[in-house]
Each structure stands twice: as C-alpha cells, then as structure tokens.
Amino acid sequence: MKSGIAPDELQPLPMPPEAARALGRFDWVGGVVGHEVFALPAPDARGLALHRAAAISALRSERRRSDAAFEQLARDAGRPREAYFQLTVDEARASGEPISVEQFLGPFYGAARGGIRWPGTSHAITGDDGYAYAFALPPYGLDASHAEVDALFRTALDSLFDSLVNVEIWQWTTDWSNAFDEGHEWWGAYLWTVLVTGRHIVAVLASTTD
C-alpha cells in the first residue's frame, strides 16, 4: 500500500447496477445526497491518504459539474461566466476523522429493523446528524412513501456499501468549499468517505437549505 495517494490517482467507477437504479429513483423523488464511487489504487488501500483523496476528488467532480452548468447558462444568457456562482475548493483545509458505522448512520437509523427511524414514531430521536437523516429527511421531504424510501435506503446500504460490513468510514469538515454554504444556513452539510474494503471507496455529499 502506498503511503501517499493523490486525488488524481482515484478513477471514477460506475455504481453497482442495483445501487444505480435505486439512487436514480432517489434523485427523482427529491433526494439531496450525492454519491461518488472511486476505484481503489491498490487492493489493500486504506487510511487517511485514501479517504482524503476521495473527499477532494468528489469536490473536484462537483466543481466540474457546476462549472459546466453555469458556463452553459452564461452562454445561453449572453453573459460573462463571472456573473454566476463559482464553486471553490480549498483542498489544504480538508480535515477529517474516522468514525464508527453507528456514527455514520446516525440516530435516524433503526438497527432493529435495518431502516429509517421516522420522526413521530414511538422512539425518541435526538440530533439531526448521520446518513439516514440526510437520505430520508431533506427540508421538504421526499415525493415517495416511507416504505419506498426505506427500500431505497436499504438498497444503497446493501449494494453500494456492502451492508456496511468490513468498512472504514471518515467524516470530513465542510468549511473548505462553498458547495456546502447552503447547508450551513440551516438543514446541514455532510461529507463522508466510506471504504468498502477491497472493492471501492464512496464519497457521500449532502448540503441544502430551505
């Protein structure tokens, strides 16, 4: 395993087909969580350098998509590109720490049934953090039933994250890119990297507001 891994060394991977179908539907019903999958530079790759490279690579991808969209908008409007939003990334400020599977899933995950713990159930829920919260509870909800959201969530866990067995997870600060500014206003801003050992690493991003 290499001691240092540059973001450019990580190659994007297509999602597993089942995850791609589920997350395509998730986007359609109003999901605000993005998932970027990268190939491992070596089968035994792990640790800070790998996770940092994945986090930075994901933000670079976001910047490329944002630039392409606003460049097209500027052309269509006959205005200079500088008149529109420009996504910035200060890679030197990226900071993260390893967390547990339980911390990643957060208080809105119900371990007993393996799905979302919805607000208003008989279980008291404190906090608004974690992947389950970001997935299931955007500011204006999802245009799908609880049962369907549960099914999409479980498919993501099983297909994309290999049921979170034999994983290594890092949580990252979100103050090094203005991609997260909206989330800082209210709902939240999240960036995790999830290594599925021997398979791939996934960067998970979420940021929005009302």
Tens digit of pLDDT for each residue in 141-190? 999 999 999 999 999 999 999 999 999 999 999 999 988 888 888 888 99
Task: Enter the tokens of residue 112.
Answer: 């007993």
Give 190's strand partners.
206
More confident residue, 10 or 5: 10
Residue 202 lies in a domain: yes
CA dist 44 to 15, 79, 97, 142, 194, Å?
20, 49, 20, 38, 14
Report the pLDDT value the prediction gives residue 1, as an integer from 0 to 100: 41
Residue 2 lies in a domain: no
Which of 65-69, 90-94, 121-125: highest mean pLDDT?
90-94
d(CA 155, CA 20): 10
* Placement of tokens 């547990």 in the chain: 100
Residue 4 lies in a domain: no
Q: What is the DSSP letter of 2?
A: -
Percent of the chain with pLDDT over 90: 65
Give 169's strand partners.
99, 194
Residue 118 lies in a domain: yes
Residue 165 lies in a domain: yes
Which pLDDT band holds residue 140 (cuts at 50, 70, 90)? confident
The pTM score is: 0.89
Q: What is the DSSP letter of 47?
A: S
Residue 5 lies in a domain: no
Domains in the chain: how many in total?
1
Residue 28's domain comprises 10-208
Residue 151 lies in a domain: yes
Residue 1 lies in a domain: no
